[in-house]
Copies of this chain bind each other. A is one copy, B any other.
Amino acid sequence: MTNVTGSISRARMSDVAQAAGVSLVTVSRAVNSPNKLAAETLAVVRAAIERLGYVPNLTAGSLASSRSRIVAAVVPTISNPVFSETIESLTQTLAESGHQLLLGQSAYSAAQEAALVETFLGRRVDGLVLTGCNQSASLIARLKRAGLPVVQTWDLPDTASALIDMAVGFSNRDAGRLAARHLIGRGFRSLGFIGAEEERSRRRLDGFKSEAAKLGVRTVAAELIRPPAQMDQVGARLQQLVARQPDLDGVFCNNDLLATAVLFECHRMRRPVPKSLAVLGFGDQSVARAAAPQLSTIRIRRAEMGERAGQMLLTRLSGQMPEAQRIDLGFEIVLREST
């Protein structure tokens, strides 16, 4: 029965060994490398395990073998569906080879990220997945020294020194550039931007502005929402944008949910999309196809990002080197109705 201390006596490996009439190592092998045992022995041991309800203590195993079969990941927040999809596919990829995920949320704070990494190192995790490439120089140095496999995701390091170990992502700046080319190419000249106030969003804004300028469009108003950027804050921001730039005719939103909120606000303002105002999303989430009008957006490979990150880690954990240390997953415009 449940008790307050939360612990009951459990069978240990030595108990199983005794019950089965074999040595400790044999039980260990029955659990970890059954093919190294004679079929009969294996059967006897398994019966004993079953009978005693033995559950191997993975903590003790980790200590002895110095492999934890745990991978840690740090994301700003999983409430943003954009990150949760990457985490989901990462979890699944890792699960296939018996690894589990320890999850940390940094709330977009570098200090919290560093603190999380520190305890993850203390837990001797087998690998680490980070979000973004804007880690501090000291954290980068720390991780390089630690020597464990690390994958940076959701962006690509600009310089060789920003690459800790491995990376899988895409250039956020180039994605912003593509957004500007797309909107301007379709005839919209007075542009706005709505996004979260965080690193990757800012990089996209950078690219968006610089490409717009290059194409002769200098009026780009931006509204940055402090994370978590919720949909119900978007209406007011769009109003701001229009107030600042009355001839606004195109908005780039930093995820499809924000873009959807803009769609609704346009509906309220009786401004037909895209005739009166074009809306470009980001991410190609499922809402983009469901929306009316359907959202044009920039597709990125969120699930693939998690999967590739997991594979790179697993490759390294098996002692090999992955084919590429830096994978650019790219992105593409999906033209629908809103632009």
**A contacts, CB < 8 Å to B:** 1-8, 53, 55-60, 62-63, 66, 68, 70, 77-79, 81, 84-85, 87-88, 91-92, 100-105, 118-119, 121-124, 126-127, 144-149, 165, 230-232, 234-235, 257, 260-261, 264-265, 267-268, 286-287, 289-292, 316-317, 319-321
With beta carbons under 8 angstroms apart, the residue of B56, B77, B292 that contacts A264 is B292
Q: In the complex where A91-B103, A102-B101, A147-B8 touch, is A56 in contact with B122 (Cβ < 8 A)?
A: yes
With beta carbons under 8 angstroms apart, the residue of B4, B87, B103 that contacts A320 is B4
| Closest CB in chain B relative to A171 CB, distance in Å | 23
Q: Other CB < 8 Å A-B pairs besides A81-B81, A257-B287, 5 of them?
A: A6-B317, A55-B118, A57-B63, A81-B84, A84-B84
Q: Cα distance A7–B102 when bound, in Å?
A: 19
With beta carbons under 8 angstroms apart, the residue of B5, B92, B147 that contacts A1 is B147
Whether B4 lies near A146 (C-beta < 8 A) is no
Whether B105 lies near A92 (C-beta < 8 A) is yes
Whether A7 lies near B66 (C-beta < 8 A) is yes
Whether A144 lies near B2 (C-beta < 8 A) is yes
| Closest CB in chain B relative to A263 CB, distance in Å | 8
For residue A88, which residues in chain B have a CB less than 8 angstroms away from its CB?
77-79, 105
Q: Which 3 A-B pairs have the closest CB atoms?
A: A231-B290, A230-B286, A232-B289
Name 8 A/B residue pairs within 8 A (Cβ), A-sorted.
A2-B147, A6-B316, A59-B68, A91-B105, A100-B103, A102-B102, A230-B286, A260-B260
Q: In the complex where A79-B88, A88-B77, A286-B231 touch, is A63 in contact with B59 (Cβ < 8 A)?
A: yes
Most chain B Cβ neighbours within 10 Å, of A3, A57, A235, A290:
A290
Q: Select from chain B the residue with minimum beta-carbon distance to A261.
A: B290
